[in-house]
Structure formats: C-alpha cells, structure tokens
A and B are shown apart, each in its own frame.
Chain A
C-alpha cells in the first residue's frame, strides 16, 4: 500500500511562486524590498526586518556544500539508498536542503562547489545540485 513515488512538495500560499519558478528552470529566492535581505524558505515577512514588502530574485544557482549526509537506510520506497542530502549554501546567502547528484556519494565533501540542476520528479522540477567543475562559491 506504500506509495512508490517520493513525497512531493506541497506548495501553499507562501511557497507557490518558488515552485512555479523551479518549474521554469529558475531558482528564485525571496528578497526584502526594504532591507535587501535574501532568504529561503519563502515566508510572510522578511525574517531580518519584518517588512512585508517582498519580491523574488533569481539567483545564480551556484554555491557550496555546507554539510551533507549519506542516507544508508531507505526511509521511503521512492528514495532508495544510498543518496546524499546536503545543506547547500548559495553564493547569494540563503541555504536550502537538497540532494547532490551526478557523482558517487563518497565523492561529496564539505565546501565542494556546486551548481543547481533541475530534475523532473512527478509534477515538479526539483532543484538538485551537482559538482561545479569550474568553481563556485567557497567558504
């Protein structure tokens, strides 16, 4: 009875625009129009100055691995082990949880430069990351 598909994002009023941008192949973070703070995940106000004047800003999709873990246990039939979950630090500041793909899990390291790559999963395009060979952010 278990659903073989991985869990899907559940867009709501706060995150709908983010996922629609992903569907267009664009990584867009929330931007405060008052103080300029860039942040993820999208929220009702700027978490720095509480302004509600918010927009979005497309970012480069480049960053580095802040930390990562290799799942050696299958929690969901749609996500067979092994796979890498990483906290990615974008060059523009925000961080997000994602996967590192396109290499063996053992090749991933903290501080490794990465760039976004959108992958079709069900009805979504998920922003995942791969090694950026030509450099990206470093810590």
Chain B
C-alpha cells in the first residue's frame, strides 16, 4: 500500500521579544507542543529535520543544528538533517519530511524552526562579500531592487505595497498570538519612514524570537491520532542561484517554476486555492508571488490587491494569521501551521469559510530559494 504523507501535529511558542530563553528552550517548547497536538509521545518521533534561523546555522563552526537539537530532545532518529535555505527552509523541511515518510525512511518526522535574534547574538544584516564595500547591506537592499523594477516596469505604486502591509495588520488584529495586533491605515503606511527606498519600515517583516514545529506522518498512522490529518497534495522547489546573471532575476521568482509543479501534482490551479500562505519578508514578495503562482497576470498584482482583496474580507485571503509582517517571524513554519489550522477549521474569528485547499510558500536568502506546499483537508 502506498504511504501518503500528512501533517498531524503543529505547535509554536509566543513570538516577539522573549528574553531569558535560548533558541533551544523555544525549539523544545514548540516540539513538545506539536507532539502533544497530535496526541503522540516523544518516543514516537523517529525523524528530525531542522531549519536553524539566521542567528544559529552552524554552531561552534562545525556542529550541525540538528545534532545538538537531537541531543537536547533525547532523540535517536532513523532520519535527520538540517536545511539552510533561508526563508524557504521551513517549507522545504516539511517537504523533505513528506518524502522521507513516503519512502519509508521514518514514520513520524518532527520539523522544527526556531531562533531568537532579538535576545541572542546574531544578525539579520548580511552583506555578500565585496558588495558591502558599496554599502549594500541586508536583505532589504535586494528586495528594494526588485521593488524598483516592478514600479518601473508595471507602474506599481506605493499604495499597492501598502495594501499588502495594511492587509497583514488587519489579519494580525484577529490573531491572538500575533506580535502586532494593532491595525494600520494606508496613511500610517505612507507616513512610515523610508529605509531602503522604495521600501518603507512597514514593508519589512518583523524580527522575532520564537519557534514553531510540525509533525509529518503517514495517513495510516494519522487515523487514530488526536487531530484530523491535513493532506500534502503537492510540493516542489525551485532556486535561482546564479542571481544577477539570470535575465529575469528581480522580475520573476523561482515560484514561477515550482508553483505550477506543486499545483499540478495536486491537480489544482491557483483558482482552486481557498487560502494562500505566501512568504512575506517584504511586501513586494507577496505581489511577485501573486503573479508567479498565477493568481493574477505578471505586472497586475498592484491592481489585484486594491480594495482589500487579500485582506480579511477579500476574495483571496493571504496570510490570515498576519504572516511575517504581523504574526511574527517564523521563517515560514508559521505559514505551514496557519494553513493546517485553517484546513482543520479551528481558527475562530479569522477562519476562512469553507477552506479546503491551501498553498504555502517559502522564499529565502537573496531571492534565491523557493519551496511550495499544496495542502488539503
């Protein structure tokens, strides 16, 4: 009988400034929450995949993150590893867990993201080698170049970026655990200071301490668990590593390649997706993905988001928990978790009515990496 991978447990910590707790404390708390959510015991876990945040990565210059995490959780799994794909890492480890479970390499695979950049040493400000000599610092610089291209080519306006920021905060206001629960207006957005023009402060995601975990197992194993299984209908990755040399870099994301593959595997099109969980490190990334996943045509994402279409009352709710712009920086694992909760119908005030399909994306590093999951109830 074919083994089909499903998600059967999710859990996370608070997100925000969480002083006095190391990333390890946070990751352990998220792991325990995910195992409890499924109604399983730690001894049931036989797979461990981790997405170490930017301030962790490789430890002591040599120890891979999963090795210390496994030691601290007392695990001797049959399958283990860490993925360093930036913001695509969490979606990618859930995908890798699905592949491992379906191949019979393990039965219950724990996927963990965690980091505490606000309270522990580390940095989000990275520069790539000699480019720092020109003052090119941070992920914001790269995304500012993409934003400028979109404005130049398609006439995208600040108000279009603002629609994404305003929608995220409106969603966050309905999410009890969100780091930012105060809605903002378009005027608030336009008044927020320019940081790396054309990006304003409110175009940029939050920086958060926190951890999140997801359990992947087989449909058969999930039958007698505490929570309803969420099916993994499709998945794919695509990357753009040659960066500036690629003609379309900054104009299209690798989502344009892996999106159709993930949706195709699920037998769905963008029009069939009830709730979209789109990685939103910067507002422009949401606009680009709306185009690259086929929710609208290339160049038309600005007009597409007008009038609150991706907000709580819109026809395509994007990131109903608030995403990286309002819920908290969870690398993409919070996006997976919100998709699972929406498909289980357990999200209260922010529940998308009749949600049966979800698309989840991860996008990372210098617009280089991308991963997609299509989930179904």
- 0/1 string, A26-42, CB within 8 A of B gives 1: 00000000000001010
Residues of A within 8 A of B178 (CB): none
Residues of A within 8 A of B152 (CB): 67, 110-111
B204 to chain A, nearest CB (A): 11
Partner of B141, one of A47, A69, A111: A69
**Does B133 touch A at the CB level, under 8 Å?**
yes
Closest to A111 in B: B152
**Does B131 touch A at the CB level, under 8 Å?**
yes
Residues of B within 8 A of A57 (CB): none
**Does A9 touch B at the CB level, under 8 Å?**
yes
- 0/1 string, B241-257, CB within 8 A of A gives 1: 01011000010000000
Provide the bound-state CA to CA distance between A126 and B193, in Å: 30
Residues of B within 8 A of A8 (CB): 133
**Does B24 touch A at the CB level, under 8 Å?**
no
**Does B196 touch A at the CB level, under 8 Å?**
yes
Residues of B within 8 A of A72 (CB): 193-197
**Contact at A87–B135, with CB atoms within 8 Å?**
no
Assuming A67-B145, A67-B149, A110-B148, is B135 touching A75 (CB within 8 A)?
Answer: yes
**Contact at B129–A10, with CB atoms within 8 Å?**
yes
Provide the bound-state CA to CA distance between A41 and B136, in Å: 15
Q: Report which residue of A73, A94, A121, A124 has the largest number of chain B beta carbons within 10 angstroms of its beta carbon.
A: A73
**Does B125 touch A at the CB level, under 8 Å?**
yes
**Does A138 touch B at the CB level, under 8 Å?**
no
Q: Report which residue of A47, A83, A97 has the largest number of chain B beta carbons within 10 angstroms of its beta carbon.
A: A97
- 0/1 string, B173-209, CB within 8 A of A gives 1: 0000000000000000000011111110000000000
Q: Report which residue of A71, A76, A111 has the largest number of chain B beta carbons within 10 angstroms of its beta carbon.
A: A71
Residues of A within 8 A of B137 (CB): 75-76
Residues of A within 8 A of B98 (CB): none
Provide the bound-state CA to CA distance between A69 and B136, in Å: 9
A73 to chain B, nearest CB (A): 5
**Contact at A69–B148, with CB atoms within 8 Å?**
yes
Partner of A126, one of B125, B134, B145, B146: B134
Provide the bound-state CA to CA distance between A75 and B168, in Å: 27
Assuming A47-B242, A87-B244, A95-B245, is B133 touching A69 (CB within 8 A)?
Answer: no
Provide the bound-state CA to CA distance between A47 and B244, in Å: 12
* Residues of B214-259 whose CB lies within 8 A of A: 242, 244-245, 250
Provide the bound-state CA to CA distance between A97 and B128, in Å: 10
Partner of B130, one of A9, A69, A76, A83: A9
Residues of A within 8 A of B294 (CB): none
**Contact at B195–A85, with CB atoms within 8 Å?**
no
* Residues of B104-147 whose CB lies within 8 A of A: 125, 127, 129-138, 141, 144-146
B162 to chain A, nearest CB (A): 17
* Residues of B326-375 whose CB lies within 8 A of A: none
Partner of A69, one of B127, B196, B245: B196
**Contact at A67–B245, with CB atoms within 8 Å?**
no
* Residues of B287-342 whose CB lies within 8 A of A: none
Residues of A within 8 A of B196 (CB): 69-73
Assuming A70-B197, A73-B195, A75-B125, is B132 touching A7 (CB within 8 A)?
Answer: yes
Apart from A67-B149, A71-B197, what are 9 other A-B pairs with CB-CB below 8 Å? A6-B133, A66-B250, A67-B250, A70-B196, A71-B141, A85-B135, A85-B141, A110-B149, A110-B152
Interface on A for B, CB 8 Å cutoff?
Answer: 6-10, 15, 39, 41, 47, 66-73, 75-76, 79, 83, 85, 87, 94-99, 105, 110-111, 121, 124, 126, 128
